[in-house]
Structure 1
Amino acid sequence: MSTRPSPTLVTSPRSPSTASRRARTRWPLADALPQRVDIPGFGVQAPVVARGLDARGALDPPPYDQPGVVGWYAGGVAPGAPGTALLVGHVDTDTRPAVFYKVSAMRPGQTIRVIRADAKVAEFTVESVQVLTRDRFDAHQAYGPRQSGRAELRLVTCGGSFDRATRSYTANVVVSAYLTGTGL
């Protein structure tokens, strides 16, 4: 899987109104390392490992032989803290689906939970799901904050069609969510 940020917007379902988003948005939390990602609607419970950027400057996913693990961009924001946290995972392997196989089917209003090292759970609500082609990428559009001052989350995986010649996908799926709850 290549998660090199180089796409352009193909689809973007409507998101909730600004007024309804504000009513549900929670104040950001302090920094704490992410430990696990749960996506209740899809049965995902995956450990999180710190990752960086690869040699090309793209988000570096977990090792390919760990398809059930999610990578967190450790050079950025912790999930739940102010700003945009980035989580990356594989969509599949040569033989089976991987951790983010179903994220392209997510819809606005669904829940993503991040269990943190401070024993708090940061609960995010999906705002939009975008399929971004790789030929014209706008990093701010994909990863930038939708609203200043809030805690946001992006789930990133491969999408589009698989090009057998290059052994890569033609797009990325970017799920945008914002903090709406916290718990212990």
Structure 2
Amino acid sequence: MSSENRTAGSGRLLTGLAWAVLLLGLWLWGREITDGSESGSSAPTTGDVAAVGRPPGVALPAAHKPLKPAKPQRVDVPSIGVTAPVVARGLDTQGAIEPPPYETPHTVGWYGNGIEPGAPGTALFVGHVDTETKPAVFYGLSAAKPGERIRVTRADGTIAVFTIDDVQVFKRDRFDAQKAYGPRDKSRAELRLITCGGAFDRKTRGYTANVVVSAYLTGVAEPRAG
């Protein structure tokens, strides 16, 4: 992303992400699941949904049985260099998830009124792609690949290990909330990592797409000693 685009003006950090999570809030409201009962940089886009896809020959592991609920504390995506604290966020008065604060662009927001990662359903994490001057926590999210791991440290001391099975870029004008946020398999514990994607539109002061990384629980690890 060019330096000219990166200094496009005030409010850039919020606008693109707020658009995606506004749709999330409306989708949750429409499906009446806000009680938790169910649940930058980007790849080029073509058509309504562009998938980075699953490379031929990539074998994905079997799903691990869901865990008891526990709140997330940290998320690590080693393949793209992400290690970040996780904070619970709610919905604002307009139905959008409150994104991580401006002052902490390397913090990931978890929809705290929804599914806890590792429990049955789809847990939702959001993060900024950049600020007005530098990359933020999910700047490299679109470079994630199927088969790579996501580790979520939970409040009960366990580490829920998820395997990425899909990376997609959803265009703003043809957004499908069910495909972006809905469960792929209701029997699994699933995870979504979401950030801005596509180009930065100076007119609307927002991004033209959203990157959505989908993953599912494939293991549990104990914290490393020391």
Q: Which has the higher strand share?
A: 1
Query: 164, 168, 180: which one pairs with 2:206?
Result: 168
Gaps of 5+ in 1: none
Corresponding letter in the other structure for 1:10: V
The answer to whether the 8 A contact 2:85-2:107 is kept is yes
In structure 2, the residue matched to 1:88 is: 126
Indicate whether 1:121 and 2:159 are aligned: yes
In structure 2, the residue matched to 1:177 is: 215
CA RMSD, 1 decimal: 2.0
What per-residue deviation string (whole Å, max 9, x for no partner) do you get for residues 126-157 of structure 1? 11111111112221110001112100000000
Aligned positions, number: 181
Mapped to 2, the partners of 1:87 and 1:154 lie a distance apart of 6
What per-residue deviation string (whole Å, max 9, x for no partner) do you get for residues 37-83 of structure 1? 00111221100000022333233210122111000001110011000
3-state SS in 2 of match to 1:46: strand
TM score, norm. by length of structure 1:
0.91
Question: Deviation of residue 10 (structure 1)?
Answer: 2.5
Q: Percent identity?
A: 60
Q: Which has the higher helix share?
A: 2
Question: Deviation of residue 15 (structure 1)?
Answer: 4.0
Gaps of 5+ in 2: 1-13, 25-46
In structure 2, the residue matched to 1:109 is: 147
- Structure number, greater radius of gyration: 2
TM score, norm. by length of structure 2:
0.75
Mapped to 1, the partners of 2:203 and 2:170 lie a distance apart of 20
The answer to whether the 8 A contact 2:53-2:167 is kept is no
Question: Deviation of residue 16 (structure 1)?
Answer: 8.2
The answer to whether the 8 A contact 2:73-2:87 is kept is yes
